[in-house]
A and B are shown apart, each in its own frame.
Chain A
Amino acid sequence: MTVFLRVFILSVSLMFFYFFYLYIEDDKYYPGASFQTSNMPLFELEDLYSDDVITNSDLEGAHLVNVWASWCITCRIEHGFLVKLSSQGIPIMGLNYKDERIDAINWITKFGNPYKFIIHDLKGELALDMGVTGAPETFLINNGKIIAHYRGEVNEMIWSDVFSPIIKKENLFNDN
């Protein structure tokens, strides 16, 4: 009886921890990641550097949209990784979120520009339509369809665990 009790307690607790180990190792564990497919909302917004209007037709093929702002400290931490990604040939569009134009331009001048172009979304209209809750957030878009969305800082680990599998699956960015 006592042997049974001892073995029972030990094995139940071991199974408990083992389950959580499996759960954590599972990649859907990232709480910031979402893979619901939706259409990229329609928009007409100005470019950060000029008065040119950017619309959906300027977004073609596969690319990332990164939501950032000069007031966002995490964006600054994330920035280095984005610069690296863009140097590897991944096209990234910036979505400058609720930010004064001059602050945003100064920020880019200071820290470098990984973006193909930057949409200036002063009132957060497009961001609202896309379901952005804060900055930074990053979307993976393929031919006008959002196929992955990550809330929070994208870094080496998030890139390889969240974005790389779906990029491989959808066979994107191959020509680069």
Chain B
Amino acid sequence: MIIEAAQFLTILATGLFFLCFVFSIFFNVNDVNIIKLISRIYSHSFFLFLSSFLIYVWLAINDNFSVLYIAQHSNTNLPVFYKISSIWSAHEGSMFLWIIFLSLWGAIYNFSVHNNEPLKARTVGVISITTVGFLLFLLLTSNPFETILPLPPENGADINPVLQDPLLAIHPPTLYLGYVGFVIAFGQAIAFLIEGNSSINWEKQVRFWSIIAWSFLTLGITLGSWWAYYELGWGGYWFWDPVENVALMPWLAATAFIHSLSASSKSSILRIWTILLSILVFSLSLFGAFIVRSGIIDSVHSFANDPERGLYLLAFIGILVMTSLILFSYRFTILISNKRIVSLSKESFISINNIFFGTLIFSTMLGVMYPLIYEFIYDQKISVGAPFYNAIFVPITLLACLFLLFSIESKWQSKLKFAFLNNPLIISFVFSLFITFLSFKFYSVSRAWTLASLFIGSLIISRYIIVIYAYIFHRKFVNIYSVLAHLGLGLLIISIALNNDFSSERALNIKINETETYKNHEITFNNLQLTEGPNYESVKADFIIENKNGNKFSLNPEKRKYFVRGQITTETAIHASLLKDIYLTIGDQLDDGSWIVNVQFNYFIRWIWFSATLMIISGLFLARSLNRVHS
């Protein structure tokens, strides 16, 4: 009964969201009462929908296995935390969460924007119709409320053990918050196009929302990468997996978008870019959902599925994107600014930045699409791997960073006056050259790309440190959060390059009580234990590692076998220090009784997480500072 009630609430909410859309398109939105009405209907339908979701959470906590989805993905033995996170461990439930977040962003927007302008009503309308599209998808093709009556199973199935990890329980929600957060930018852009009044400054209002969404997206991707690092046991943090790529594309587009926004919120220059990018960011987010949920691509991330879903999503996304683009080209003339971009102005650097980001997005899309096109034509599966992406991303990113350096001093709408001798860039140039030379000479860094990345990373960092110096001692105005985010970029480039250059691994065949030496570290296989966890049994090894200074520590990699699914997982053991991680995984036992143990030294990996965190935190603070200016 309660299940039907929850489903009914969702259906009701779908109807009301649709009503919102109808009102915002077919009624006179210059009328304040209509605007208030739309806003109120939206709040009510969001409330109904949220209640439905909360009931669902309650059903999951209480092991209501007459709900098919809960029976298939949860288990009585799971801790409450995982009972809740099991909701988003597969297709139907995660779609449910996705739509909740989508409408939540709309609800917060609706609640916190107090003006009664037509733009708001139209935006709420666009958000509503997007929500309706996904709700219909949920109800028609992937209903989470489906029941198995009259004989519910007693214990339920289980969630995939790889997913029984606190980090993974929060990785999808943060990522989804990022993806769907761009619905506000998209909604405002479409509302602006519908209104067709070029004097409305929609960009200014949208910055705050977009930067928050960008921070969530960055956080979601970082969490995923961190999880992959310690859980999958391969030691890497980025695999150019197709689904990572479909998360990377909206991130790249979003990054270009928030840069463009800062230009076009000051003058209407770059408006075409901004509108197009806002449509692109959201479309790429939806495209990601399509790729993951249609089962087109085999990946760690894909859900079990049927083609009907893919077709529905394709049709829905196609209609949404094509309508937006037709609207865009219909209103094209009002977007053209009568001001020209001054060469070497900040705007000019931002448009160059857009071109670089566009190239990266295009290349990533090519890498994702090429195997599909190839398979479609030749009926053979091929894959595009890291070498392709590295060959494209490394030079383009480094080149883009060079332009970033010059853009630091540039000003809005005026030409950069570049003084060659009396320029802070000279100091950072000398400094970076020195750093690069030192690492070449004393730390045996010799690969050209590593040196180039090191050089450019140091240039960015030192140049921005000079900016911070000027900010503190000469009261020179800068946007300090943007400075910190770019410092994060410099650090990220250096850490990725050094990680790539220094990291090494070796597989050892080692018996109990034997000692092997790898890179000045003595690795002793001390012990092996059979233990039993709450829903798995495991083999736990004990290793003592001693470095050349005589410091000892122990590492306990594990292999688990989960009861319900019989799945085997490896649990890595990591010893983290400032510069490197020592990373152990155990493999199979050989016939002579020795075990295969994989030892990895992963350098600067913590620095990668730190750089990403710096960007995320700067993003959140930047959004906060923007919000303060508004209110």
Give chain A's interface residues, CB within 8 Å of chain B.
2, 5-7, 9-10, 13-14, 17, 19-24, 26, 28-32, 71, 73-74, 76, 98, 124, 134, 152, 157
Contact = CB atoms under 8 A, between A and B. Distances in A.
Contacts of A19: 369, 372-373, 376
Contact of B307 (A9, A14, A30, A134): A30
Contact of B322 (A14, A26, A32, A98): A14
Contacts of B276: 9
Query: What 6 pairs across the A-B complex have the smallest Cβ distances?
Result: A6-B329, A17-B318, A31-B295, A24-B310, A73-B72, A20-B314
Contact of A24 (B71, B314, B322): B314
B140 interface: no
Interface stretch (B45-53, B188-196, B296-304, B538-546): B296-304
A17 B321 contact: yes
Contact of B325 (A2, A10, A24): A10
A6 B153 CA distance: 56
B148 interface: yes
Contacts of B71: 73
B336 interface: yes
Nearest to B272: A5
A62 B467 CA distance: 77
Q: Is the interface of B mostly helix, strand, loop or mixed?
A: helix
Contacts of A21: 311, 314, 318
A24 B307 contact: yes
A98 B564 CA distance: 11
B332 A13 contact: no
Interface in B340-398: 369, 372-373, 375-376, 379
A152 B336 contact: no
Contacts of B328: 9
Given A14-B322, A73-B148, A9 B295 contact: no
Contacts of A2: 332-333, 336
A77 B132 CA distance: 29
A6 B314 contact: no
Given A17-B322, A31-B298, A24 B304 contact: no
A32 B304 CA distance: 8
A74 B72 CA distance: 8
Contacts of A14: 322
A28 B333 CA distance: 44
Interface of B: 68, 71-72, 148, 153, 157, 276, 290, 294-296, 298, 302, 304-308, 310-311, 314, 317-318, 321-322, 325-326, 328-329, 332-333, 336, 369, 372-373, 375-376, 379, 565-566
Contacts of B305: 31
A10 B329 contact: yes
A26 B72 contact: no
Q: Is the interface of A mostly helix, strand, loop or mixed?
A: helix
Contacts of B318: 17, 21
B153 A73 contact: yes
Contacts of A76: 148
B566 A98 contact: yes
B322 A157 contact: no
Contacts of B369: 19
10 contacts: A2-B333, A9-B325, A19-B372, A19-B376, A20-B296, A24-B294, A24-B310, A29-B307, A71-B157, A73-B153
B153 A13 contact: no
A22 B376 contact: yes
B93 to A, nearest CB: 15
Nearest to A20: B314
Contacts of B302: 31
A152 B304 contact: yes
Contacts of B298: 31
A13 B325 contact: yes
A71 to B, nearest CB: 8
B96 to A, nearest CB: 19
A17 B321 CA distance: 10
A59 to B, nearest CB: 26
Nearest to B152: A73
A14 B153 CA distance: 47
A2 B333 CA distance: 9
A28 to B, nearest CB: 7
B376 A26 contact: yes
B329 A28 contact: no
Contacts of A20: 290, 296, 314
Given A9-B329, A73-B68, A98-B566, A23 B304 contact: no
Given A24-B307, A29-B296, A13 B157 contact: no
Contacts of A98: 566
Nearest to A134: B565
B68 A24 contact: no
A113 B614 CA distance: 61
Considering residues B276, B306, B321, which has the most beta carbons from chain A within 10 angstroms of its beta carbon? B306
A152 B302 CA distance: 14
A23 B329 contact: no
B534 to A, nearest CB: 19
B296 A17 contact: no
Nearest to B317: A17
Given A29-B296, A29-B307, A23 B72 contact: no
A152 B325 CA distance: 39
Contacts of A152: 304
A6 B333 CA distance: 11
A74 B73 CA distance: 12
Contacts of B307: 24, 29-30
A73 B304 CA distance: 14
B173 to A, nearest CB: 26
Nearest to B156: A73
Contacts of A7: 329
Contacts of B317: 17
Tell which of A7, A19, A124 has the most Cβ of chain B within 10 Å.
A19
B334 to A, nearest CB: 12
Nearest to B276: A9
Contacts of B321: 13, 17
